[in-house]
Chain A
């Protein structure tokens, strides 16, 4: 395979609540992300609320998905350049500050200084049970003056302010276990919300400050971006499965497939006659009022967004969102979502649709729904981080920096 390709092969893995998914891809000369092959299996209750609860089953599905992906791509993946999305209620984040004196002769800030400042910021202030997953650079202070790009400026001291995402050591290890089981020794964990945002958020949106939300089956990830960094990020362990569960309890109908179908076809007017839908239940035909279904869906969505709104509002952060809200994930496709999000946040809303950003190409036919934002974004992240060559400059083994690609250059990766 060496010499045949211009760029490294990258593998992105999602161990999600609704699906377990593998995508293999690479980049081309223009920096586009080319999908070579993908494979997927439904998680079937092996993952719940974003966390693996049946490891054997999850590993089995992962192996099958991987095999499908390799077959589609026509290659066997390498055990390096493998990236895995991490989520769950154990994810936490905090603000990191690190400083470094500028002691070279010309006193000009160079990339090595920037990396050192970021390294110094990447300190976990919590327990030893936490590890750092991502470090996202924000702004810098040069001798106390704010600078978004400190490179080549003259200073005595450089201080970096960044956003650190941490996870519970064991929970993160859980996500990496299926890959390690097939001898991928050093898979890279990435916060799922960050990966998802990579595929979705444009430079323009990022510039004005944007609230990004990914509603999945098990969890809802959120990131509040400001220019240049991240103010706040996190995970609410509520997803579309909760809506399904709410219906199942309220209507005393089976979780799957009945209530799952009800949730995802709630907007389909053809199924409702005179405001009622007919469901074949265990004891005959049930007539369920459309109004009840809508109310249950709305209550859950409303509560979840109000929880998020309160988290951000209590820190006074909502005022910094210039572009409004951007949403993706399976939950974003529900008809009720749009009005509710607008009502809670009172700002413009963009819901990711089924057309992929233009820089994705290759075998993407089955991947063009908001449900795939995370894994596509993860592939993009992996591609940018893995490639030597003109896209990025690799400075040292532990810290990579990718410049020259709009807002996404804020992601620094530090291996835990």
Chain B
């Protein structure tokens, strides 16, 4: 990239597919509503989906998807994730699918613990997988004062979500307490969460949009977060020329004050940190080094750090540091259930192969035989005739003895 080139301030968007942000459930809708008003959100496709029609109409966003209305009368899922899942799984899914198809990436946000977001998130996860769209779930988990039940539901929700998605970033609302006075009313506390999360989403989207020099990309997030139960914190710090010569230090200070970071303590407790510094055409090598060193000095020795540096003309005369601090819940991953069940090796890799093998029986070890079921109708499930023995369909050789 030639730093001396003059470029337009808004990059040409017609070529690259966009990042889509989808807010689900009451909290998700409010967060995305806030996001739509932030400068920098113009690069995003924004949509919201909820079973509560009131929440959608209040947000007033152009791409609103009511789900499961026939069931819930447009009144929401009543805190029942089962209903949430059903609402998202039925025909309303098609319009969401049409909207997100063709996205470069999908960021889903919502508050776990209730019905729509907790139940709907895994459904969206599977949909995105099917459409092969890399997806990040940035979900909040309830404040302590919201009670035991919501926590349990949220916890279950994360467990259900992990296998169906690449990246889940769970952020506990309680982190906000480090920067909240105790006399703040609950309603205000919730709206502060929505604001902070919307900033975090923007930060994340910017990191992934601006990837070039030493880019932090989706794969980095995936490496740290995939299939692990975590607690995450987010820090954002923006500074400009007007903040003086030491704009990196200013940005770092602001980052440390981020409401969703939990202060320096939050950083110290992290097992892994993904930090990205974004600057403009005036971004200097020295500044890059300095910013990353500041972060390094604030983390523990054993913390794994993934650095990224990006540039984009939107950040001319500015410096933007984003940080995701990840703490793993189960250090020795004992959560994985020790599986003594023998599983056959996966020989086939694509659906096309499976379909073709139905037509070319010579591919299997023997020609597929239905044996006892030869004279009965085919038993097709997901494109395969399951009357044929699994070992034949999978091309596995077995020792028949002598």
CA distance A234 to B253 in the complex (A): 59
A80 part of interface (Cβ distance < 8 Å): no
Residues of B within 8 A of A245 (CB): 370-373, 387, 389
- The residue in chain B whose Cβ has the minimal distance to the Cβ of A238 is B386
Interface residues on A, range: 35 or more
- Determine if B379 and A49 form an interchain contact, defined as CB atoms under 8 angstroms apart: yes
- The one of B73, B126, B157, B401 in contact with A314, judged by C-beta atoms closer than 8 angstroms, is B126
Residues of B within 8 A of A241 (CB): 372
CA distance A298 to B344 in the complex (A): 9
CA distance A286 to B394 in the complex (A): 25
**Can you give 12 A-B contacts (C-beta < 8 A)?**
A161-B71, A231-B86, A236-B381, A242-B373, A255-B372, A299-B391, A303-B386, A307-B382, A316-B120, A317-B82, A319-B82, A343-B339
Q: Mark out the residues of chain A between 113 and 145 whose CB falls within 8 Å of any chain B CB in the assembled complex.
A: 141, 144
Size of chain B's interface in residues, with CB distance under 8 A? Answer: 50
Chain A window 320-351, contacts with chain B (Cβ cutoff 8 Å), 1 for yes, 0 for no: 10000000000000000001100100100000
Residues of B within 8 A of A318 (CB): 160
CA distance A388 to B335 in the complex (A): 53
CA distance A89 to B376 in the complex (A): 13
A248 part of interface (Cβ distance < 8 Å): yes
Chain A window 137-167, contacts with chain B (Cβ cutoff 8 Å), 1 for yes, 0 for no: 0000100101000000000000001000000
A60 part of interface (Cβ distance < 8 Å): no
Known: A246-B389, A246-B391. A319 touches B85 (CB 8 A): yes
Q: Mark out the residues of chain B between 138 and 194 whose CB falls within 8 Å of any chain A CB in the assembled complex.
A: 156-157, 160
- Determine if B401 and A276 form an interchain contact, defined as CB atoms under 8 angstroms apart: yes
Q: How far is the CB of A121 from chain B (nearest CB, A)?
A: 13
Residues of B within 8 A of A315 (CB): 85-86, 89, 123
- Determine if B156 and A319 form an interchain contact, defined as CB atoms under 8 angstroms apart: yes
- Determine if A250 and B391 form an interchain contact, defined as CB atoms under 8 angstroms apart: yes
Q: How far is the CB of A47 from chain B (nearest CB, A)?
A: 11
A residues apposed to B, CB below 8 Å: 48-49, 53, 89, 95, 97, 141, 144, 146, 161, 226, 231, 236-238, 241-242, 244-246, 248-252, 255, 276, 286-289, 291-292, 294-296, 298-300, 302-303, 307, 314-320, 339-340, 343, 346
Q: Mark out the residues of chain B between 106 and 148 whose CB falls within 8 Å of any chain A CB in the assembled complex.
A: 119-120, 122-123, 126
Known: A315-B85, A319-B160. A289 touches B372 (CB 8 A): no
Beyond A237-B379, A296-B389, A317-B86, 9 extra complex contacts between A and B, CB < 8 Å = A48-B373, A146-B78, A231-B82, A249-B392, A299-B394, A316-B119, A339-B340, A343-B339, A346-B337
Residues of B within 8 A of A288 (CB): 400-401
